[in-house]
Every structure is written in C-alpha cells, then in structure tokens.
Amino acid sequence: MSKFKAIRIDKDASGYRATYSEFDESELMDGDVTVRVSHSTVNYKDGLAITGKNPVVRRFPMIPGIDFAGVVESSSHPDFKPGDAVVLNGWGCGETHFGGYAQKARVKGDWLVPLPKAFTAAQSMAIGTAGYTAALAVLALEKQGMTPDRGPVLVTGAAGGVGSIAIALLATAGWRVIASTGRKEEADFLTYLGASEIIDRAELSAPGKPLGKERWAAAVDAVGSHTLANVLAQTSYEGAVAACGLAQGMDLTTSVAPFILRGVCLLGIDSVMKPKAVRLRAWERLARDLDQTKLAELSQTIGFYKIMDTAADILQGKVRGRVIVEIG
Ligand code: NDP
C-alpha cells in the first residue's frame, strides 16, 4: 500500500480546513520506524487541532492525531522490528509531525513504547493520551508524597477522558474520590468508576476567594482557569494539585495564598515530551490498576470517518469518557 487514507489539515489563503484525504508513503516525514496504524483516539487536543480553535497544528499540511497504536512495518531502530506492536503518545505528532489519523505513520523509534502486554491496541487507545496523562498525574501526586490517608482527592472534568480514568486509578489506589462534573446525568457512571461524592462543577467555575474551606488533600485538574484557582484555594494544608488541562480556559487568576499560607503544591503535568522512563511507569501503572471492565464501560468505538464529528463534540463536552478510533 503506497497510498493510504488520512485526515489532512491545510491552512492557506482560503482558510483552515480538515479533510478526509489520501497521502502517498513518499510524503511521510522523517523517522526510523514505519507503523501500520490500527487504532487512534479523539482527545480534547485533537478536537482543537481539527477545528482549528487553538493553534495546535504548527506545520501544514498536517496529519492530525496526537496518538496511535499499530504494528511496526519497517524499522532501522534497534528496539523495534517488523511485527512489533507499539503505542505512541505526543512528541508533537499531529502538531509538527504527521500523526495518528492515517493508516501509516513514520516516527522516531525513541518516541514509541511497546504495546503493554495487558492491553490490545484498541484498549491502549481507549486509554490514549488522556488516560496516560491521568496516570502521569497520579504518579506526580504520589511522588509529592500524597497518600489516601491525607484525605479525599478531587478530580475535575470528571466525565471526560482524563477525569474518568483518573477516577478509576485513584479509587483503585484507595483514595476517596470527589468528582466534579457539569453532567449530573453521569453521576451513576462516575460512581461506578469509583467516585464517592459528586459535586457540581458550577461550585468551582466562577471567580472565587483566595482561600476557602479545606475540602480535599489532592486534586487532578483537567479544567484550568477559575476552576483551578478554586481547587487550589480549597486544598488542605500541604496538599498537592496536578494540573494538566484547560477545558475551561488557559488563564489562571489566583493568589499566592494557597502556596504561602497552606504550603499547597501545584504540579504541572505535560505528557507530550515526557521522558520514556516515566511513560513506561505510567503505562505499567495503567496495566496494573485500570480495571478492564471499567475501561470498556467508559469507552466507545467509532470508524475513521466519524473522527471529525467527534472532534467537534469533544470540545462541546458531549463525549463521555474515551473514544477508540478504528483506522481500518
Ligand atoms: P474531555 O473533553 O474528554 O474532558 C474534559 C472535561 O472537562 C469535559 O468532559 C467536562 O467534564 C469538563 N469541561 C469541559 N468544558 C468545561 C468548562 N467550560 N468548564 C468546566 N469544565 C469543563 O478532554 P480530555 O479529558 O481529553 O482532556 C482534558 C484536558 O486535559 C484538556 O484541556 C486537554 O487539552 C488536557 N490534556 C493535557 C495533556 C497534557 O499533556 N497536559 C494531555 C491530555 C489532555 P464534565 O462534563 O464532567 O464537567
């Protein structure tokens, strides 16, 4: 197959547009491993890239898709040989390097991790960058010394991808999980995943006071903006907040009060450039602690030609949990 189907993003005098298209293998970018992509997923960032709402894509034309799973077709990298099952998250794929919404991808072998034995390719994309980031956030809280005996943990953006997998991982680790959501109708789903308490995200989304009642020892925040400011203001003494998202906004208007009066720690989570050793730890954690029945329950499968509709839906908060894309 020298021709393969892919989504193509262009930006020129006639504007920014994503189209279902076809590429030739000769157009693939540099890399020492070529992968036949079987599955990808739709993360929030993919929604931003496809709609052009944020400047995620920084080279044109681009094949979007920040992650994929597939099988190595050819490789000159010492760690990978044809037939190996692999997963990629981030490293600028779908931003500056051709990404996962294509039947083929060529990338640096250093960017790939072996598909964890616990998961199929489809399951690895049910987890995707959102789930791997949730695991990074949990690891960061633990590295900071956070343990369930300190009190509850809050998860914002609870019914989304990062949120739902964070809830499942934290509940398995023994935390009492408070889930913040704007979707009351998902309360049973969040409880099933492991949440002990559900709060309305409206409690956190408006500008608040520099300090509030101490309500949680730790938090995983996928929302940013006023929500993150309020999360910090209500974190208990020497607690920690892992900030990974911007679903409400990229802004953060807060004060130093939580930091200097309560010793609260704000932990930044970036999944894109994370060194391989930490990636492997995150995947090991997912393999160990993520209940596969819950994973199936929080994910849905779509075909390649549904990617663009789903990208628009995820930005409107209409996607529950995770989406697996069968590239086919
Ligand atoms: P999802 O769309 O699946 O989840 C986001 C959730 O945030 C929604 O489901 C919704 O949850 C909540 N939300 C949406 N809009 C608002 C709003 N205006 N105010 C408050 N809450 C809102 O996205 P993902 O889980 O894939 O990603 C979540 C965030 O994490 C994104 O900003 C994404 O860019 C970021 N991210 C960052 C990474 C990194 O490396 N730092 C890696 C992966 C993701 P509910 O309906 O429950 O209220």
Write the pLDDT tens digit of every residue in 58-85: 999 999 999 999 999 999 999 999 999 9
Residue ranges lining ligand 1, Cβ < 6 Å: 43-45, 129-130, 133, 157-163, 181-183, 201, 205, 222-223, 227, 244-248, 269-272, 314, 317, 319
Atom of ligand 1 nearest to the CA of 163: 25
pLDDT score for 68? 98
- Class assignment of domain 3-115+298-326? alpha beta
* Residue-wise pLDDT tens digits, 14-47: 999 999 999 999 999 999 999 999 999 999 999 9
Expressed in angstroms and rounded, the spacing between residue 33 Cα and the centre of ligand 1 is 31
- The domain locations on the chain are 3-115+298-326, 129-268
In the predicted model, what is the mean pLDDT of residues 206-222? 98
**What percent of the chain clears pLDDT 90, i.e. is strictly above it?**
98
200 vs 246: CA distance, rounded Å:
18
Residue to mutate, 188, 244, 267, ligand 1, most ligand atoms under 8 Å from C-beta = 244
Instruction: Check residue 253 and give its pLDDT.
Output: 94
**Which residue, by CA, sits nearest to atom 10 of ligand 1?**
157
Above 90 in pLDDT, residue 1? no
Give the pLDDT mean for 110-130.
97
What dotted CATH number matches 129-268?
3.40.50.720
Residue 315 CA: nearest ligand 1 atom is: 2
What pLDDT score does 215 carry? 98
- Span from the CA of 315 to the centroid of ligand 1 (angstroms): 8
Residue 284 predicted with pLDDT over 80: yes
Is the pTM here over 0.95, yes or no? yes
The per-residue pLDDT for 20 is: 98
Q: CB 288: neighbour CB atoms within 10 A?
A: 11
Per-residue pLDDT at 328: 81
Q: What pLDDT shows up at residue 206?
A: 98
Q: How far is the CA of 248 from the centre of ligand 1 (A)?
A: 8
* Residues constituting the chain: 328
Name every residue whose Cβ is closer than 8 Å to that of residue 189 and which is 6 or more positions away in sequence: 159, 164, 297, 298, 320, 321
Cβ neighbors of 203 (< 8 A, separation 6 or more) are 180, 230
Task: Compute how many other C-beta atoms are within 10 angstroms of the C-beta atom of residue 46.
Answer: 31
For 176-196, the pLDDT digits (tens) are 999 999 999 999 999 999 999
Q: 122-125: long-range contacts (C-beta < 8 A, 24 or more apart)?
A: 122/38, 122/39, 122/69, 122/301, 122/324, 122/326, 123/292, 123/295, 124/39, 124/69, 124/87, 125/39, 125/40, 125/41, 125/67, 125/68, 125/69, 125/324, 125/325
Q: Looking at the CA of residue 182, tell me the nearest atom of ligand 1.
A: 48
